[in-house]
Structure 1
Amino acid sequence: MKKLLLSLTILGTALYSCTPKIGSLINVSEVERIETVLSADDMKGRQLFSPELDKAADFIAGEFQKSGLEFFGENDSYLQSFNMLLATPAQVNGNLDQEALSGSNVMVNSTSESVKVNSLTDYELVKVAKDANFTQLVSPLLRSEKNVVVLIDPSHASNFARLARSTGRAKFPTDYSQVFIITENLNPRSLALTVTNTVTKQPLKNVVGVIPGKSKKDEYVVFGAHYDHIGIGRPDANNDSIYNGANDNAAGTTAIMMLGKYFNKLKDNERTLIFVAFTAEESGGFGSTYFSKQLDPDKVVAMFNIEMIGTDSKWGPNSAYITGFEKSSMGEILQRNLVGSKFHFEPDPYPKQNLFYRSDNRTLAELGVPAHTISTSKMEEAPNNEPNYHKASDEIGTLDMDNMTEVIKAIALSSKTIISGEDTPTRVEKLD
């Protein structure tokens, strides 16, 4: 019996010695190497639909391959490709009673080649009067799956002009259209409108790698971050016009690449791990929205969304916060797994910013998944409290690479009982 116990002890010691130490795989030099590539000037800010964003995607895919990750689902590469549709009005003709309608007083949110409204009863009618809350009425309509005509009082002219940002974006294909008309006539008797659009496909791609699980292969844990940024803008005082996006969000993308490499070496996951670099977060979260629709949300046990971890948090080094902490038990699990370490996670200290529904975790969270963002970004008076947020100065030189490495290690260590199947976070309440 003693020989058996001694043999087991020796075997256990040997297995432990074969387990890769976290510092050998998640280290400052590797973190800095990847961060440097993603936030370099030659990436030109990784703007949507740019060759540089494609270049970044290929780099991420190459790192996934070197780490030995598998493809996702039926994909034959690490690239998860999909199309958005951009509908640009070519002709706008019609009348609201006797008032002529044209591109100057009509905006259409649609992906159809043609939008026709022959009467006031064709579409649901919404009126935005002078004293109405424009945002409260209009914002939900932009996301709705229904045909609607919105009559907007001219007192909201500035907000009407801002609608161009939403109506002029590429979108997922839809059969629904929202028509916005700025007019003093909020009680018309007739409406006839024809809009002819020029529709073009705009290809996008997430980058996805997988480590299959063992005993709980059909239960998924997702690690995600967006790899796009906002490209080239107006030159700043230093004549710098490249918005490198080192912290936002090359930092988070670096983290998922490091975590994929670490966990595939560790080989300790009972659940399937999915690592995804999302596209188009800065333009509306289209990458994460598409990705979420490829999964059964009931099989997703947890999502770690990693966003802007390159600077110290409000508590200083070795700390980060978790958005929506109170919405599931995931944060408590992560905290418990870090007991005894130098690192600590805290609840989101910026509840007024509604950060839980402002990043790539949003779509899965709305479906009930405990999907939370981990960040160190100071957001008391966003964006002013992060001095480099959405600016050309968001470069690698402004990041604390040592602390960023510790954040990545903390995510790896704190997730251990979730990926092993020992802990299952409670679900987030679904949104209607």
Structure 2
Amino acid sequence: MEVDPYRTPYQRDRDRVLYSSAFRRLSGVAQVAAVNEQRVLHNRLTHSLKVAQLGRRLVQHLKHDRSGKSRDLWRAAGVNADVVETAGLVHDIGHPPFGHISEPVLNACLRRVEGLEGFEGNAQSFRIVTKLARRRTDHPGLDLTRATLDAMLKYPRTRSASEDNPFDVPTWTDRGFGGKWGTYRSELMDFRWARKRARGDRRSANAVLMDWADDITYATHDIEDYFWAGLIPLHNLHSDRDGIFKHACRRLGGLQDFDPARFAGELDRVIDRFEKSISSSCWDTRRNRSAMNEITTENLGECVRAVSFAAEAPFVTVDPQCQYLVEALKELTWYYVIDRPSLAVMQEGQKHIIQSLYDRLSDCLSESPKSPRLPIQLRSLYRDLGHDEEFTAFSGGSDVRRARAVVDYICVLTEAQAVDLDERLSGRSHSSMFGAWFS
């Protein structure tokens, strides 16, 4: 590992991520709505940039506490602004085209193949930065530091560990644990190396901060997007207040120790804050933009101040009341946007595209790994899996290798590429054969 006199290893991690094609690809992956919408909405790239920026601010807030106790906890936690920022940049780097809606499709495809655990977006992110993204021929992945890899592990467990030993978390606001899993067996050596200094299955302090920055960012920018799009009536939320509350209780009621009364209090505060500032006359006005910026700034400031040091691992904690605030903000997007029929219908079509791609590419690869009908990058991924000793140690044969290669390939496509390739493979394309992007 080379050492630069002008930057730390953690700063080098950040530079490598920013210069990777895997990171640039996120500009073509949806946050909620498809990236081809005419309105300027957040995509996975702009979302990740904001998560990274906010993660750095959380560390700066903690560093501002100069007390002797905080200095001791700072050392115990090992928090680092560059590490949290880089983890924020890469936390969504493994998302497939169309975002979360594609994950259950790919999971079902892989679960049908004996020898594979299924699909998980966070595990795919870890696989990309440790194996698939390339900067040098002599080392797979981006060759990131242990601290950065550990910080991106929001769910530091394998699927088998998650199923065999479910967490007994006392309350849903305990940020030290994540309910899902975050690494495949094919990256188990990298996972163990990243977690060498970890305390059991607990997240690192840097991962807690990155995850909180992710929640805050998602809660704030989606409201802005869909208010300007005319979907969230921020000037008149009280008329839907009871419906919003009931919807939230159905969505969040399964969380351990979720308190509907505390949520209701934060929801009322959110509604009151918006209705006092947002004009109903014309939504996209200078006045409303200024009011929205002021509210967002107020929310962000409150969420940043909610972070403090704790005496026990992972040594950082987030005020529970502020977590109810973030859930109340997120609920507006769930109620008015995510559960809308117009989005659900579009997502159903997107799932069909992903399934079609998987089936057609698997069939082509099954006929011949050298078939000219296969995109060059897919052939390369399939070939490289044959030389991956960690993967071949547990894989059950060609079916496992083929399925893993196809999913890896789908997860390096943008949404436009996925749509175009599906049209070409199904005979519905009007595109030219000349200058095809996958050649």
Q: Same fold (TM over 0.5)?
A: no
Please identify the structure whose Cα radius of gyration is greater: 1
- Normalising by the residue count of structure 2, what TM-score does the alignment of the two structures yield? 0.26
Q: TM (normalized to structure 1)?
A: 0.26
Normalized per residue, the structure richer in helix is: 2
The structure richer in strand per residue is: 1
